[in-house]
Homo-oligomer: A and B are copies of this chain.
Amino acid sequence: MSDLEIRPAAHDDIPAIVALLADDPLGAQRESPDDLVPYESAFQRLAADPNQHLVVAVRDGRVVGTLQLTVIPGLSRRGAVRSIVEGVRIHSGERGSGLGTQLIEWAVAESRLQGCQLVQLTSDATRTDAHRFYERLGFTASHLGFKLQL
């Protein structure tokens, strides 16, 4: 496969990112690719926040992957900074290509650059393939992830 670039998401990437978010068994029920207005304002807020790193993976000029890395300072663990990975999506045509590994390795490397001592993420309990994937990359499934919809 041709060269891959992982770079900060630009405003023009929003439709492609939303298409990736929607092309997913869980995302299909949650996203609205035909109405980008709510995504535009969310993008502006992300772009203005130095602790937010929304990136896209681009191959041959096409967005084929995305993730969001959030840097979180805190007092616990002797003032450790941690990062949280959210919204990992890989284009259906790229699954199994190693792109997921490249994206997560980017997130881990960027977390080190940002001075983080811990990278964390949650994965829906039904995504068993994803669990094996994260464990292969060295993550430990040490926690339960709780959510409350408001």
Question: B144, A148: Cβ atoms under 8 Å?
Answer: no
Interface centre among A74, A118, A124, A140 (most CB of B within 10 A): A74
Question: Is A39 among interface residues, defined by CB-CB distance under 8 A?
Answer: yes
- Output the nearest chain B residue to A35 by Cβ-Cβ distance: B78
Q: What's the dominant secondary structure at chain A's contact region? A: mixed
What is the bound-complex CA distance between A31 and B78, given in angstroms? 5
| Min distance, Cβ A28 to any Cβ of chain B, angstroms | 12
Question: A84, B87: Cβ atoms under 8 Å?
Answer: no
| Min distance, Cβ A129 to any Cβ of chain B, angstroms | 13
Question: B148, A138: Cβ atoms under 8 Å?
Answer: yes
Give 17 CB contacts A-B under 8 Å.
A18-B75, A30-B77, A39-B78, A41-B79, A42-B79, A43-B75, A70-B70, A76-B87, A84-B84, A117-B149, A118-B147, A119-B147, A119-B148, A120-B147, A138-B148, A142-B146, A143-B144
